[in-house]
Amino acid sequence: MHIYLQISPGEDRPRFYHLILQADLLGGWSLVREWGAQGGSGRVVRDHHDSREAAETAMMRARDEQVKRGYRVVFVQGDHLSE
C-alpha cells in the first residue's frame, strides 16, 4: 500500500511525502515514511506495528497530518484506503 503526497511552497522546489505499508518477515507490519525535496535525497523512517490495523491507522494519521500542512495526495496504490 502506497500514498504519495506533494506540496509546492512558493518559489521553492516541490516537496514530497511518501507512505508505504509493508508486511515484515515476523508477522508484523512496517510503516515507511520518506520525505524531502523533489529530486533530492529524502529522509526515511520505519515504524514497526504488531498488526496491519495498527499500521493502517498510523498511515492514515500521518496522511491526515500532512494534508493539514498543505500537502495534497497525488497517488494511491493498493487496498482501498478510508478517507
Each residue's pLDDT tens digit, 65-81: 999 999 999 999 987 55
**pTM of structure:** 0.86
CA 53: distance to chain centroid? 15
Mean of all residue pLDDT scores within the chain: 90
Supply the DSSP string of 23-57, one letter for each residue.
E-TTS-EEEEEEEEETTS--EEEEEEESSHHHHHH
Query: 30-33 contacts: CB < 8 A, separation 24 or more?
Result: 30/55, 31/55, 31/58, 31/59, 31/62, 33/62
What's the pLDDT band for 10 if we cut at 50, 70, 90?
Answer: confident
Domain ranges of the chain: 2-77
What's the pLDDT band for 39 if we cut at 50, 70, 90?
Answer: confident
Domain spanning 2-77, CATH architecture: Single Sheet (2.20)
Contact 1, 21 (CB under 8 A): yes
Question: Does the pLDDT of residue 28 top 70, yes or no?
Answer: yes
